[in-house]
A and B are shown apart, each in its own frame.
Chain A
């Protein structure tokens, strides 16, 4: 019979580090999927995932088992991703004149026929990535969690460790920041 999650955690806490491996195997897909929302390069994604698991091992004593391990791990993952964003604030000043041809075409299509600009297009995906990269770390985290992952304010508060009113304030500011970036992009392109 396969050992349960609680058995594995108890074994790690008793000093059996090998029992940590099945936990890494089981939950790494979620950690990687989350990290890929905040880092573009695969080497950065791996660094984040590795950091998450090293922290998880060090802080495992603080896991009280009241909530599922996955929730605890996701909190750790989101906070590590936020630290990553704060530490890598480069490239935020890239110019919108550097847009690729498919991105420009998608925008043209959006201006002339908004309904014809498909959200499934690769260009739209690249464009949204480019815009998210220009947001401040706080704004990017809030927009990703609230609008892209469709999480509630309460969930975001639990994941980030911020209070509910603080999440609301930051969400308001993040939306304003994103609108400002979109307006700048429109200005750069059409003026």
Chain B
């Protein structure tokens, strides 16, 4: 069987038989009724939309703060200072003893 020829024939068959474009009776009425019903029965939609927006902005702020904390070089310097100060405070008495001797 010539597959390429069969392919061509079948595509030609599909072209020769385009689907119908008839619309069911009162379809447009059904769609508008559905839209009206959706608007009427969905009082939480506004809240949901607002909450989604709030969630998106929270994620954006978290990402920004995370990036700032990660890339900010002063943060690591401050951490070094803190550890140094902590060590100095702990060893202050030992240092004083050394100086006294």
Contacts and interface: CB of A to CB of B under 8 A. Distances in A.
Given A119-B16, A120-B16, A121-B13, A32 B21 contact: yes
Given A36-B20, A127-B13, 11 more contacts: A18-B32, A28-B23, A28-B28, A32-B21, A33-B19, A46-B24, A121-B13, A124-B10, A125-B13, A127-B10, A186-B3
Residue from B15, B20, B28, B36 having most chain A Cβ neighbours under 10 A:
B28
Interface residues of A, number: 44
Interface of B: 1-7, 9-24, 27-32, 34-36, 38-39
B1 A119 contact: no
Nearest to B1: A186
A35 to B, nearest CB: 8
Contact of A21 (B3, B5, B32): B32
Interface stretch (A50-58, A92-100, A159-167): A50-58
A18 B3 CA distance: 52
B15 A150 contact: yes
A90 B9 CA distance: 26
27 contacts: A17-B39, A21-B29, A24-B32, A25-B28, A28-B23, A28-B28, A29-B23, A32-B21, A33-B18, A50-B31, A50-B34, A54-B35, A110-B1, A111-B1, A114-B2, A120-B13, A120-B16, A124-B13, A125-B14, A125-B16, A128-B10, A148-B11, A182-B6, A183-B3, A186-B1, A186-B6, A190-B1
A54 B38 CA distance: 10
Contact of A120 (B17, B29, B31): B17
A148 B10 CA distance: 10
A108 to B, nearest CB: 11
Given A20-B32, A20-B35, A147 B20 contact: no
B36 to A, nearest CB: 6
A30 B27 CA distance: 13
Contacts of B39: 17
A179 interface: yes
A74 interface: no
